[in-house]
Structures are given as C-alpha cells and as structure tokens.
Structure 1
Amino acid sequence: MKFKMILSSVKPDITDNIVDSAKAAGATGATIIPARGTGIREAKTFFGLTLEAQTDIIMFLVEEHLVDKILAAIKEAGQFHKPGTGIAFVLPVEQVAGLESQLDEFKKRVKETYF
C-alpha cells in the first residue's frame, strides 16, 4: 500500500473546515501544527515590530489513490483561488510505521474502491 503526505498551510480560522472537507473526501485524520509565516505579501509592522501571520500546518497521511480527491476538497474548502488564503502540496512517502492497527481498514477500503 502506498501513501502520500498532503501538507497545507492555512489561516487558523479555516483549519477545521479544511480538515472536515478532507475527511469527507477520504482522509482518515490530520495533524495540526501551529506556526508563523510570511509570504509574498510581506508581514505588517507596528512601531518597528514585525507582525507575522499566524498559520496552521495541516498534515494528512493518505492513501495514494485518494490524493487527487482530497487535494481538490482542501483547495475548494480553503478557497485557494483567492490571494493569501493558503497553499497545499503533496510529498512522496517512502515508508510508514505505526499504522498496523489501521491496515485492515485500509485494505477493506481498497477492496471497496476497486472491486
């Protein structure tokens, strides 16, 4: 079974919506990491202090065959067509440990999808 990692950087106020949409599209869970960041639109300053935008990094470890559907759901839920709303990208996963308790469910879902 092959997996991919979807990483998404979004504003904290839409994190729950992103996670809910991804789960509806087939993701089984998510890890959310609070972060700070800056992008093409430079951080604002206030009395000489830089105010960095708060962001959440959402990580989804998903089965390879679900990536396109989940990524599309994330993009739509996050309204990524609007400037400054967020990004998402996919990384390859070479090996996975710790999913043994979920393997039966993964195998069942693959059979339902393809057979």
Structure 2
Amino acid sequence: MKFKIIMALVRPTITEKVLDAARKAGATGDVIISARGSGSSKSKSFFGLELQDQTEILMFLVEQHTVESIIEAIQKAGELNEPGMGIAFVLNVEKVAGLESQMEKFKEQARSKYL
C-alpha cells in the first residue's frame, strides 16, 4: 500500500467542520497542531509588535486511493477557494510503521474503490 499525508492549514473556528468532512470522506485519523502565520498578506501590528493570525495544521495519513475524495471534502468544508480561508496540500510518504490496527480499514477502502 502507498500512503500520502494531507495537510490542511485552517482557521481554528472551522477545524471541527473540516475534520468532520475529512472523516466522512474516508480519513481514519488526524493530528492537530496549533500554529501562527501571516499568509500572503502583511501582518497587523499593535504598538510596534507584529500580530500573527492563529491557525491549525490538520494532518491526515491516508491510503493514496482516498486522497481525491478527502482533499475535495476539505476544500469544500473549509471554503478554501475563498482568500484567507486556508490551504491544503498532499505529501508523499516513503515508509510507514505502526499502522497495523488500521490496515483492515485501508484495505477495505481500496477494495471499495477498485473492486
């Protein structure tokens, strides 16, 4: 099996909505990391201090056959086509360890997609 990582950087106010959509589309687990960033626009300042927007990084390790449906669900739920709402992207994974408990789910997803 081949795996991919889907990363979505979204506003904390829509994290749960995006997580729910990803799960419904086939994501079996997630990691959430709180972060700060400024995106493509200049950060605001307050008394000379630069203020950065809060963001959350959502990470999903998924079997490659589920990537398209999950990324589409994330884009729609997060309204990522709107400026400033966030971004999502996919990374290749070379090796994976520790997924024995989820392998049956991954196999089922692959079978349902291709058989």
Q: Sort the TM-score into its range (normalised by shorter chain).
A: over 0.9
Matches within 5 A, 1:1-115: 1-115=1-115
> Which runs of structure 1 show a deviation greater than 3 angstroms over 4 or more consecutive aligned residues?
none
Match for 2:3: what amino acid? F
Deviations 1:52-71 (A, max 9, x none): 10000000111101111110
**Count of residues in correspondence between the two structures:** 115
TM norm structure 2: 0.95
Unaligned runs of 5+ in 1: none
Unaligned runs of 5+ in 2: none
- SS of the aligned residue for 2:58 comes to strand
Give the superposed CA RMSD. Answer: 1.0
Identity over aligned pairs, percent: 55
TM norm structure 1: 0.95
Deviations 1:16-65 (A, max 9, x none): 11110001111111100000111111111011111110000000111101
- SS of the aligned residue for 1:41 comes to coil
